């Protein structure tokens, strides 16, 4: 069932106030946060068989003996899945191990017919990376402990409301979907850090084409590990793990709630249990699910049906060199190459598509700064109002670039351009086509301008006298009148010069 966000926020505030932790008490403790993020790899087929990965297919149609876990079926590792995982690891500055191993993680669950998940354990694909994030304009480097590959389980669907009418179903279409798990170091200290890290992670994964990261389809899922310690002390407190957060807003809210819960517990003489908790989006609270005393012993052992994974220098290099520029590198380049302000560079690299559009437009305009203003300002405004993505922009990048170039060549005033862009957006036509159709052209022709100026001078004798008696500030008014009379088409430079000359 979809939850309204405002409702969730309201409940969250209520529940935060139930936790009677005063702000100064809260400040005595330092939160420590580490995230485990699962990202679905964007392959067409599953990790160990040829079944399609497809969201929303009829239940239990995309299955075969391998992903159903039937006895005797043998897994075959998808090369594409490995390449996407390597790409993700490289983008996170990890060391990719030349030799890694799959392992069985044994547990029983109705949506796991194999009785084990195929994951990686003590020999993961990649380790020792990092991701830089920006929190309130300050750069923080968050360590990435490891990136490993694994298969996803199926899905249990619970249905019915009354006890007499309650059923659970199992859909195994998702079973065998390729995932990477990205484990962070416990380097985050606030819920804002966690939010920034998760957001940056999603951005990077989307950028390099590892995954679309559609959270509503479960393509990115987040577990948050949270502990608190008295400020100034070294030793970490006992952590609780909040499982399966499927939105970054909920991640932030759950972490904030958990920090307060733990501080209150410790302050009142209690002890934080090492446990797994769930975030209830209805109440805004985290709820204990299972304690570590009842924790699974997964009895990991090397997967006997798969040979160890070997990644040669050559393969690693191939994958790494095929990666596109990373968002942060691109942002820095936009600032250096086009002289953009940090904020604009940030907005223009938010997604790869926006950055591509901008660069394409600059090719036609040869003016990075002006193009940045038009894209982040007017164009994004129009897109937002129309509910469109930049990839659906009716104004092509080349046409936007041309518009900017026309202004720079003095064929168009900025004012006229602002009127033309919505028409371009509406019709998909170029600025030139619209100018010709509507007779909208900058008037630079001296004769035509002089005629308009003469008219304005004749109509405003008072202001003309003021100017002549030394009140030169009135020039602005007269320029405005000429501009108006020309329907915004007068070339501002030529207009100013001619008007001054005429006034003597
Ligand atoms: P486990 O053995 O319970 O799986 P790990 O050491 O593998 O724990 O860590 C899992 C995640 O929890 C990592 O993201 C790590 O950074 C984080 N983590 C570990 N210890 C703490 C702690 N005391 N407080 C908060 N997060 C922690
Ligand atoms: Zn299959
Ligand atoms: Mg662990």
Percent of the chain residues topping a pLDDT of 70 = 95
Q: Has residue 16 got a pLDDT over 70?
A: no
Is the predicted pLDDT of residue 455 greater than 90, yes or no? Answer: no
Choose which residue among 185, 225, 254 to substitute to test ligand 1 binding: the one with the highest number of ligand atoms within 8 A of its C-beta.
225
Tokens at 182, concatenated = 């990205």
pLDDT at 21: 78
Tell how strand 220-230 and strand 138-151 pair up: unpaired
**Per-residue pLDDT reduced to its tens digit, 178-234:** 999 999 999 999 999 999 999 999 999 999 999 999 999 999 999 999 999 999 999
Q: CA 127 to CA 149: how far, in whole Å?
A: 12
Alpha helices, H only, 339-441: 342-347, 352-365, 368-374, 380-386, 397-408, 414-427, 431-438
Both tokens of 178, joined, read: 């390729």
Number of the ligand closest to the Cα of 197: 1
Flag whether pLDDT at 4 surpasses 80: no
Kindly report the protein residue whose alpha carbon is nearest to atom 17 of ligand 1: 34
Residue 120 CA to residue 359 CA, distance in Å, equals 40
Q: Give me the mean pLDDT over the 458-478 stretch.
A: 87
Confidence of residue 48 (pLDDT cuts 50, 70, 90): very high
Report which ligand 1 atom has the smallest distance to the Cα of 236. Answer: 23
Token pair listed for 314: 């050559």
CB atoms within 10 A of CB 61: 12
Calculate how far, in angstroms, residue 75's C-alpha sits from the geometric centre of ligand 2.
9
Q: Average the pLDDT over 246-250 and give the result.
A: 92
Atom 19 in ligand 1: residue holding the nearest Cα: 186
Strands 29-40 and 301-302: unpaired
- 292: CA distance to ligand 3 center in Å? 13
For ligand 1, atom 7, which residue shows the shortest CA distance? 183
Residue range 336-353, pLDDT digits in tens: 999 999 889 999 999 999
Atom of ligand 1 nearest to the CA of 225: 26
Model pLDDT, residue 2: 38
- Among protein residues, the one whose CA lies closest to atom 22 of ligand 1: 239
| For range 136-157, the mean pLDDT | 94
The mean pLDDT value for 310-324 works out to 96
Q: How far apart are the CA of 94 and the centre of ligand 3, in A?
A: 18
**Top-confidence residue, 227 or 492:** 227
Separation of CA 51 and ligand 2 centre (Å): 4
| Strands, E assignment, 41-137 | 95-96, 99-100, 102-106, 116-120, 126-135
Q: Which of 239, 291, 300 to mutate to test the pocket of ligand 1 (most atoms within 8 A of CB)?
A: 239
CA distance 261 to 259: 5
Segment holding 169, helix H or strand E: strand 167-171
Q: How far is CA 383 from CA 78, 348, 355, 402, 424, in A?
A: 39, 14, 15, 19, 12
- For position 120, what pLDDT does the model report? 97
- The set of protein residues with a Cβ atom below 6 angstroms from ligand 1 is 32-36, 183-186, 225-227, 236-237, 239
* pLDDT 10s digits, 364-406: 999 999 999 999 999 999 999 999 999 999 999 999 999 999 9
What pTM does this model have?
Answer: 0.82
Which of 153-162, 307-316, 330-339, 388-397 has the least mean pLDDT? Answer: 153-162
50-54, 102-106, 266-270: the lowest-pLDDT one: 266-270
CB 78 within 8 A of CB 177: no
**DSSP bridge pairs for 39:** 180, 220
- Give 379's DSSP letter: I
Instruction: Please tell me the number of the ligand nearest to residue 145's CA.
Output: 1
| Per-residue pLDDT tens over the stretch 60-99 | 999 999 999 999 999 999 999 999 999 999 999 999 999 9
Best residue for ligand 1 mutational test, from 35, 183, 186 (most atoms within 8 Å of Cβ): 186
Ligand 3 centre from 136 Cα, in Å? 30
CA distance 416 to 114: 66
Give the dihedral sign, CA 255/256/262/263. Answer: positive
Structural domains of the chain in order of their starting residue, each with its CATH number: 5-315 (no CATH), 325-438 (no CATH), 446-502 (1.10.10.410)
Output the CA–CA distances (angstroms, integers) from residue 432 to 122, 226, 307, 396, in the order listed.
63, 58, 62, 13
Query: Which residues have C-beta under 5 Å from ligand 2, the single-atom ion?
Result: 49, 51, 64, 66-67
In this structure, which ligand is nearest to the CA of 236? Answer: 1
Query: Across all residues in the chain, what is the average pLDDT?
Result: 90
Query: Atom 13 (ligand 1): residue with closest C-alpha?
Result: 34
Structure tokens at 148: 């490993």
Q: What is the reported pLDDT for 292?
A: 62
Task: Tell me the H-state helices in 284-379.
Answer: 313-321, 327-338, 342-347, 352-365, 368-374
Residue 191 alpha carbon to ligand 3 centre in Å: 21
Q: Tell me: the pLDDT tens digits for 405-446?
A: 999 987 888 888 999 999 999 999 999 899 888 877 777 777
**CA of 383 relative to ligand 1 center, distance in Å:** 42
Q: Using CA atoms, how far apart are residues 421 and 416, in angstroms rounded to an integer?
A: 9
The confidence band for 1, taking pLDDT boundaries of 50, 70 and 90, is very low
**What phi and psi values does residue 468 have, to the nearest 5 degrees?**
-65, -30
pLDDT of residue 6: 55
Reported confidence tier of residue 358, pLDDT bands at 50, 70, 90: very high
pLDDT above 90 as % of the chain: 67
The minimum-distance atom of ligand 1 relative to the CA of 36 is 14
Query: 104 CA to middle of ligand 3, Å?
Result: 15
The predicted pLDDT at position 3 comes to 41
115 alpha carbon – ligand 2 mean position (Å): 16
Ligand 2 centroid, distance to 40 Cα (angstroms): 16
Tokens of 187: 């380097």
Locate the ligand 1 atom nearest the alpha carbon of residue 226 and give its number: 25
């Amino acid at each position: 069932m979809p939850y309204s966000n405002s409702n969730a926020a309201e409940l969250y505030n209520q529940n935060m106030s139930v936790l009677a932790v005063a702000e100064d008490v809260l400040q005595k403790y330092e939160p420590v946060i580490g995230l485990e993020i699962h990202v679905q790899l964007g392959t067409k087929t599953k990790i160990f068989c040829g079944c399609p990965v497809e969201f929303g297919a009829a239940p239990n149609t995309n299955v075969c003996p391998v992903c159903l876990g039937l006895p005797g079926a043998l897994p075959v590792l998808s090369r594409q899945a490995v390449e996407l995982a390597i790409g993700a690891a490289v983008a996170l500055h990890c060391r990719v191990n030349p030799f890694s191993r799959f392992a069985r993680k044994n547990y029983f669950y109705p949506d796991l017919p194999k009785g084990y998940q195929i994951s990686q354990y003590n020999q993961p694909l990649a380790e020792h990376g990092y991701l830089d994030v920006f929190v309130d304009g300050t750069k923080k480097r968050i360590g990435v402990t490891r990136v490993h590959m694994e298969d996803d389980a199926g899905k249990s669907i619970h249905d019915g409301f009354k006890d007499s009418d309650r059923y659970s179903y199992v859909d195994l279409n998702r079973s065998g979907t390729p995932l990477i798990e990205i484990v962070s170091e416990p380097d985050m200290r606030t819920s804002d850090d966690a939010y920034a890290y998760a957001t940056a992670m999603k951005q990077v994964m989307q950028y390099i084409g590892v995954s679309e990261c559609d959270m509503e389809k479960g393509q990115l899922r987040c577990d948050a590990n949270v502990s608190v310690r008295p400020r100034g002390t070294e030793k970490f407190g006992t952590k609780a793990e909040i499982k399966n957060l499927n939105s970054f807003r909920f991640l932030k809210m759950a972490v904030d709630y958990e920090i307060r819960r733990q501080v209150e517990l410790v302050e009142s003489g209690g002890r934080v249990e090492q446990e797994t908790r769930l975030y209830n989006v209805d109440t805004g609270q985290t709820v204990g699910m299972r304690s570590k005393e009842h924790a699974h012993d997964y009895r990991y052992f090397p997967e006997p049906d798969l040979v160890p994974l070997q990644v040669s220098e050559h393969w690693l290099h191939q994958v790494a060199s095929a990666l596109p520029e990373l968002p942060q590198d691109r942002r820095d380049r936009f600032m250096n190459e086009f002289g953009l302000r940090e904020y604009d560079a940030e907005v223009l690299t938010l997604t790869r598509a926006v950055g591509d559009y901008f660069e394409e437009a600059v090719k036609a305009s040869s003016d990075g700064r002006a193009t940045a203003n038009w894209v982040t300002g007017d164009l994004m405004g129009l897109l937002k109002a129309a509910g469109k993505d930049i990839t659906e922009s009716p104004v092509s990048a080349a046409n936007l670039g041309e518009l900017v170039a026309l202004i720079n060549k003095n064929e168009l005033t900025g004012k006229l351009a602002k009127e033309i862009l919505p028409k371009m957006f509406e019709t998909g036509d170029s600025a030139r086509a619209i100018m010709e159709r509507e007779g909208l052209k900058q008037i630079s022709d001296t004769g035509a301008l002089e005629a308009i100026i003469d008219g304005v001078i004749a109509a405003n004798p008072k202001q003309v006298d003021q100017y002549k008696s030394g009140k030169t500030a009135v020039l602005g008014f007269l320029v405005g009148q000429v501009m108006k009379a020309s329907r915004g088409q007068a070339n501002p430079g030529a207009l100013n010069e001619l008007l001054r000359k005429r006034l003597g």
